[in-house]
Amino acid sequence: MKTTIYDISEKAGVSIATVSRVLNGSSKVKPKTKQKVLDAIQEFGYTPNAFARGLGLNSMNTIGLMCADSSDLYLAKAIYYIEQNLRQNGYNSILCCTGYDLERKKSAMDLLMSKRVDSIVMIGSSFLEASDADNDYIRHAADQVPVMLLNADFDYPNVYCTLCDDAKGMANATNYLIQTGAKDILYLYNSNTYSNMKKLTGHQTALLQAGLKVRDTHHAKYPGQREDLEAIALFLEQFVEEKSVTFDAILTSDDTLAIGAFKYCKRKGLRVPEDISIIGYNNSLIARCSEPELTSVDSRLETLCNQLSKTLIHVLEGDEMPQKTIFSGDLIKRQSTKA
């Protein structure tokens, strides 16, 4: 049997209340008795039981983190930043990976709520379902604890959103392509998450504002795995052939897609950026791995995560905070676009 507070109290010759007091460090304990208790704890290698603790305190300063896929470059970074911020403020994190399936999201939420987390942080826009009724699980959570959304926009009391204005980010990228001489931009994206929809809108708005047409033939939705670069290139090849589109630039909703586009160009003997300009999104590590390096929209993830964490800490401390904080993305110009 594991050692408990009773073993310690017996060994130290004090009551369990006193042991609990030195454990919590709250109320005053005479230095001498404190030392006796600490010695006993040391000797037994005692670790307090968080279950019992949580029961008594009804909170353990822990935050539930939900994310679809912790191995996604972008999400992994976000987890890292947020976890770090929270820990530095005395909160522990529990991470649940949910995949992209509603049932798994719900069950992860249940799990976290059962662990009586002080808040839920939902990392990534994939948590918002197209059918609004399906978002009830978020509302249900928000009825009990503050819910923080990263890169998603959701109106409900006690839900706080921190996001990058992806529409504007993508509009900037589009404008930059147009400025540097592009006439026909092929837009490549891969899923209908909330932020991908925003990006698409931003792109189209920019096209219209520049007096260009929005053409279905120039929107390619890649259905496969994002990390399968060859498959992306292959998909593009088929798409281009099938629709017989011509274009002088490729704009993508994600850096990996852009790298896939590189592979396509290479295969077709197209030079980047002389023949085709390419812009990615997220400015992740891989944007600096390609040759030429990839121009990309930086969605300022670290800033977003820091802000989200700060907001959360304040909310937990009872401060009034804005429910929506929006940053705008930076276009990082590299060599995959013309000067």
Partner DNA sequence: ATCAGTATTGTAAGTGCTTACAAATAAATG
Partner DNA sequence: CATTTATTTGTAAGCACTTACAATACTGAT
Residues engaged in binding its own copies (CB under 8 A):
2, 45, 47-55, 58, 60, 69-71, 73, 76-77, 79-81, 83-84, 87, 92-97, 110-111, 113-116, 140, 143-144, 227, 229, 256, 259, 262, 266, 285-286, 288-291
Q: Is residue 1 within the footprint of DNA (CB under 7 A)?
A: yes
Contact region with DNA (CB under 7 A), list: 50-58, 120-128, 150-158, 299-307: 50-58
Q: Quick count: other Cβ atoms within 10 Å of Cβ 221?
A: 15
> Using the rule CB under 7 A, which residue among 35, 49, 88, 225 binds DNA?
49
Distances (CA, A) of 184 to 83, 190, 275, 292: 42, 20, 12, 21
Bond prior to 292 in cis (omega within 30° of 0):
yes
Q: Is residue 2 within the footprint of DNA (CB under 7 A)?
A: yes
DSSP string, 223-252: -S-TT-HHHHHHHHHHHHHHHT---SEEEE
Q: Is residue 289 within the footprint of DNA (CB under 7 A)?
A: no
Work out what residue 33 binds among DNA, its own copies, none; the CB cut-off runs from 5 to 8 Å by kind.
Answer: DNA
Q: Which has the closest alpha carbon to 125: 84, 156, 161?
A: 161
E strands present in the chain: 62-67, 92-97, 119-123, 147-150, 159-165, 185-189, 219-221, 249-252, 277-281, 295-298, 324-328, 330-332
To its own copies, the closest distance from the beta carbon of 309 in angstroms equals 14
Q: Is residue 324 within the footprint of DNA (CB under 7 A)?
A: no
To its own copies, the closest distance from the beta carbon of 41 in angstroms equals 12
Residue closer to DNA by CB (options 21, 263) is 21
Residue closer to its own copies by CB (options 11, 263) is 263
283/172 Cα distance (integer angstroms): 14
Work out what residue 29 binds among DNA, its own copies, none; the CB cut-off runs from 5 to 8 Å by kind.
Answer: DNA
Q: Is residue 57 within the footprint of DNA (CB under 7 A)?
A: yes
Q: Which has the closest alpha carbon to 327: 211, 153, 127, 201?
A: 153
> Using the rule CB under 7 A, which residue among 38, 39, 41, 55 binds DNA?
55
Work out what residue 183 binds among DNA, its own copies, none; the CB cut-off runs from 5 to 8 Å by kind.
Answer: none
Residues in contact with DNA, total (CB under 7 A)? 34
Bond prior to 273 in cis (omega within 30° of 0):
yes
